[in-house]
Amino acid sequence: MSNDLDPAAIPLRRAGRSGLDLPAISLGLWQNFGATTARDAQRSVLLHAVERGVVQLDMANNYGPPPFAAESFVGDLLRRELRGRRDELVLTTKAGYHAWSGPYGEGGSRKYLLASLDRSLASLGVDTVDVFYSHRYDPTTPLTETIGALATAVTSGRAHYVGISSYSATRTREALAVARDLGVPLTVHQPSYSLLNRWVEQPDASGESVLEVADDAGLGVVAFSPLAQGMLTDKYLDGVPQDSRAATGTSLRPEYLSEANLARVRALHEVARARGTTLARLAIAWVLREPRVTTVLVGARTVDQLDDSLAALDEAPLGADELAAVEAALAS
């Protein structure tokens, strides 16, 4: 691979009102980067991503399996093929879900978050990650403690920026207030967002939506699972392929492939066909049409899948008639 990244390869978008630019499409290592995936396949996808300018690699302590495997894999590459390239990359990680046994291996406590961050840094072989997230709101831990741990991550030099993931609008407002009091801003919010999952657009009991809070507070939005784990592609139109996530994994549950969802997917597929593109590209272009979204986090099992997703960046903006066709398809 070349030694120089082409900065024009993928457009950059500014994360909220921070100084951090992120590629419009980033690669997530939740699946396909653990012990159940051939090392060569992982290496091909990740090095291809970086070569194409997908410089943000999104990780978490529990990505593998086993936990910390995805980070150890990236750490290996940083010592080999990506040696000397660390500062060209945006490395992010999170803690919140189960990562090791016992009471201190999940949640939102200071003890868990900072111990986990230290393990992540060791796995990656770096002193600092670019973004450290609270992976989920933990109702059993005071938010002052969870956000306080994020602040310590920054002030101790272990993270350049911090963020929250999957927090409701209400909890996001609360987290922002704690962070402001501590003098360490939150930079990003990482929620799920796709044509089939639009919760961030809906106001919660506070009367605001996640997108509204993020916009108002200057938080970048890092949208995960834009393809709804692969449902927003053409792969499930005629059944469940053997190599697909629905057949081999546990996260894409059979109930998601309901007749109602498949009917929407088929109708969306027709909208994509009328535009002369693939459903995956339409789905990603649709998330990126939202100016409050900084980047979409795609997953990819193969280089071809990644290239298909990246081709979404070549799509012309969606017109009013196409957006209306999308809404009609979703209502079908």
Q: How far apart are CA 160 and CA 170, in angstroms?
A: 25
Residues 300, 312, 325, 326: which binds ligand NDP (CB under 6 A)? 300
Minimum gap (Å) between residue 244 Cβ and ligand NDP: 4
**Residues near 187 by Cβ (< 8 Å), separated by ≥ 6?**
15, 16, 18, 20, 131, 161, 162, 163, 219, 220
Residue whose CB is less far from ligand NDP, 42 or 165? 165
Q: Total residues at the site for ligand NDP (CB under 6 A)?
A: 30
Residues paired with 13 in a beta bridge = 22
List 229, 277, 294, 295, residue binding ligand NDP (CB under 6 A) = 229
The stretch among 3-11, 37-45, 223-231, 259-267 that binds ligand NDP (CB under 6 A) is: 223-231
Nearest to 54 by CA among 7, 2, 123: 7
Region near ligand NDP per CB under 6 A, out of 107-115, 145-153, 261-269, 292-300: 292-300
- The DSSP-derived string for 213-260 is HHHHHT-EEEEE-TTGGGTTSSTTTTS--TTSHHHH-SSS-GGGG-HH
Which CB, 31 or 209, lies closer to ligand NDP? 31
CA distance 11 to 7: 8
Structure tokens at 158: 């272990």
Residue 324 neighbours by CB under 8 Å, 6+ apart: none
DSSP assigned state of 98: -
| Binding window for ligand NDP (CB under 6 A); candidates: 47-55, 230-238, 285-293, 316-324 | 230-238
Interface with ligand NDP, residue 52, by CB under 6 A: no
Find the binder of ligand NDP among 305, 310, 312, 325 (CB under 6 A).
Answer: 305
- CA triple 47-51-55, angle to 5 deg: 85
Residue 42 is a binding residue for ligand NDP (CB under 6 A):
no
Find the binder of ligand NDP among 271, 280, 285, 318 (CB under 6 A): 280
Residues 70-129 that bind ligand NDP (CB under 6 A): none
What is the distance between the alpha carbons of residues 58 and 224, in angstroms, rounded to a whole number?
10
Q: Name the minimum Å distance from CB 317 to ligand NDP.
A: 21
Place of tokens 């920026």: 161
Mark the segment that binds ligand NDP (CB under 6 A) among 46-54, 105-113, 146-154, 303-311: 303-311
291: number of Cβ within 10 Å: 10
Contacts of 42 (CB under 8 A, 6+ apart): 32, 33, 73
Query: Least separation, in Å, of the C-beta of 283 and ligand NDP?
Result: 8
Site for ligand NDP in 146-165 (CB under 6 A): 165
Which lies closer to ligand NDP via its Cβ, residue 94 or residue 292?
A: 94
User: Which one of 74-82, 104-112, 209-217, 220-228 is the stretch in contact with ligand NDP (CB under 6 A)?
Assistant: 220-228
Q: Rank residues 181 and 198 by Cβ distance to ligand NDP and give the closer one.
A: 198
Give the residue, chosen from 13, 52, 235, 292, that forms a contact with ligand NDP under the rule CB under 6 A.
235
Token pair belonging to 308: 């298909």
Residues near ligand NDP (CB under 6 A) are: 28-32, 58, 135, 165-166, 190, 224-230, 233, 235, 244-245, 280, 297-301, 305, 308-309
